[in-house]
Structure 1
Amino acid sequence: MKVGTVESVWRYPVKGMAGERLERCDFDHEGLKGDRIWAVQDVRRQEIQSCKFRPQLLQCRAHTRGNGQSRYIEIQFPDGKLFRCDDPEASMKVSVLVGHDSQLRTLQPKAEADFYRRYKRDSHTWLDELKATFEREEGEPLPDLDNLPESVQEFVSLQGTFFLASTFHVLTTASLDHMRQVHPQSDWHIERFRPNLMIDTLPGIEGLAEQAWVGKTLQIGELVFDCSDPAPRCGAVTRKQSGLAADTSLLRSIVRQADQNLGIYGSILNAGVINTGDEVRLI
């Protein structure tokens, strides 16, 4: 059943930073090519950071430059200055921005387990820190963080990647339109929610459309996507970002009117190319 078309494709070359809109992109089982291939590492903690813990990163934007073997990643900082990720001065500027001594790092082999390991000062502080990033008010629900898989307890990302738990994230125009209707005071800009794929749903498909797709499969052009989980939202969506103002009311609305979820996660089952305008079918 056709449910829409690809409205836009998004890639985030540096974990936690704003990304780039694409007309087409290659993909495989590990996600979009070039997605989250750099990240910021806290030097003291020796831990990879995300915009959950370092929301200032959202004020930077990462772009892919060059072609083929000469391809590199360039960061635009809030002051407008541009630096390549492999320039030591870029790490210095990140350190000043986030207020912690930091280094920009590229992906390491999966076997380098310590590179992806979660920093734990003791048995509980890491979980308290994680819960705090969701910025819930009294009486508001949290995702089930007390029963995380062992791998998520031990590592800040899937080993060999900079993805927390899923390599692909999908959002629909139906969901954003729905949230605009229930909370029109806020700016429901797509970039707040960092999807890889924005689906322009067909007329008549309304509400939080993609939540009904969990447990099902999407065919998107050449891409076959297993819809595995809803995407619970944390405080990152409320933060000041590249071109977007801070807005705490967004999260209140998502928690209370959308059961704290907006968008879905899943895994890609094949390899190929995805293009803006590709048909999206529920199978």
Structure 2
Amino acid sequence: MIKVGRIGEIWRYPVKGMAGERLEDCALGERGLEGDRIWALRDEAREEVQSCKTRPDLLRCSARCRPGGGGEVEVRFPDGSVLGSDSAEIDERLSALVGRASTLQALRPASDSAFYRRYKPDAHSWLEELAATFEREPGEPLPALDQLPEPLVDHVSVPGSFFVVTTLHLLTTASLRHLKGLHPGADWDRRRFRPNVLIETEPGLEGLVEQDWIGRRLRIGDVSLECVGTTPRCGAITRAQADFDADTAILRTVVREADQNVGVYGETRLAGRVRVGDEVLLD
């Protein structure tokens, strides 16, 4: 096994589409980090779960799991106010934020497949709407949207979860340094890319190193992860969040210089607990 770095940061996103909370350690299982993507905003007219792709103002909020457990979350709004998921005002405040009548909903079982159903007014416009979220300029490539996995043709996330592809996203500091070197004037804040685990790579590792890990496993303490795919980037990475402004230049660089991808998707093969500072070994 080869040491490729250490865990520099751990992030979970209790509400789909919102900024998340930074942790020192967390349990990691087949459903990802404990408490990750356990709530989501649902558009009541469309009867559809929303994300920061479709409701970018969600990124101006951050969410954290309420201390003490119980499954409730707390949302910090752009004005600094905080409301719990059990607050009588939360739906009204979020609806005003995104400009659509919406409700904050907890995760439901996979058997309730209608809850995860994609809004499809006709046979074509839903795919055009999805393509538009990637915000490509003329001549720039799109991911292969005509090859979506079967569950995602009819659902906005895998039923039983609020994840679109896998339950884990990994990003390295080597990739961020590489992209910053290509476009120093852009804002490469790692939070734009919403990693669950940011890996501080070993000296000498350069470039988009995690792209070479696809199909291989990482060992972090007692945890085993498999890197299963690239992470195509959409317009969400350009959006403003609480601590930084919008920057559309980074998407142009990612599409042109990184084959659209920054970071990789992962799946847990052996559950356990991950901690900041843990060594990351490549099998």
Report TM bin, short chain: over 0.9
Looking at structure 2, the residues matched to 123 and 150 of structure 1 have their Cα atoms a distance apart, in angstroms, of 15
Looking at structure 2, the residues matched to 175 and 115 of structure 1 have their Cα atoms a distance apart, in angstroms, of 36
Q: Where do 1:1-283 residues align within 5 Å?
A: 1-69=2-70, 72-283=72-283
RMSD: 0.9
User: What's the secondary structure of 2:35's corresponding residue?
Assistant: coil
State the one-letter code of the partner of 1:154: D
User: What's the secondary structure of 1:21's corresponding residue?
Assistant: strand
User: What's the secondary structure of 1:199's corresponding residue?
Assistant: strand
**Identical positions, percent:** 54
Looking at structure 2, the residues matched to 68 and 166 of structure 1 have their Cα atoms a distance apart, in angstroms, of 24
- Cα shift readout 1:35-68 (whole Å, capped 9, x = no counterpart): 0101000000110001000000000010122214
User: What's the secondary structure of 1:83's corresponding residue?
Assistant: strand
- Structure 1 runs of 4+ with >4 Å offset: none
Looking at structure 2, the residues matched to 250 and 86 of structure 1 have their Cα atoms a distance apart, in angstroms, of 37
Aligned length: 282
Deviation at 1:277, TM superposition (A): 0.5
Contact persistence 1:41–1:49 (CA under 8 A): yes
Contact persistence 1:227–1:265 (CA under 8 A): yes
TM-score using structure 1 length: 0.98
User: What's the secondary structure of 1:162's corresponding residue?
Assistant: coil
State the one-letter code of the partner of 1:272: G
Looking at structure 2, the residues matched to 121 and 207 of structure 1 have their Cα atoms a distance apart, in angstroms, of 43
TM-score using structure 2 length: 0.98
Contact persistence 1:221–1:279 (CA under 8 A): yes
Looking at structure 2, the residues matched to 8 and 148 of structure 1 have their Cα atoms a distance apart, in angstroms, of 30
- Cα shift readout 1:228-265 (whole Å, capped 9, x = no counterpart): 11101000000111211000001001000111100000
Consecutive unaligned residues of structure 1, counting only runs of 5 or more, are none
State the one-letter code of the partner of 2:203: P
State the one-letter code of the partner of 2:23: L
Deviation at 1:222, TM superposition (A): 2.1
- Cα shift readout 1:120-162 (whole Å, capped 9, x = no counterpart): 1011111000000000001101000012122110111111110
State the one-letter code of the partner of 1:8: E
Contact persistence 1:28–1:270 (CA under 8 A): yes
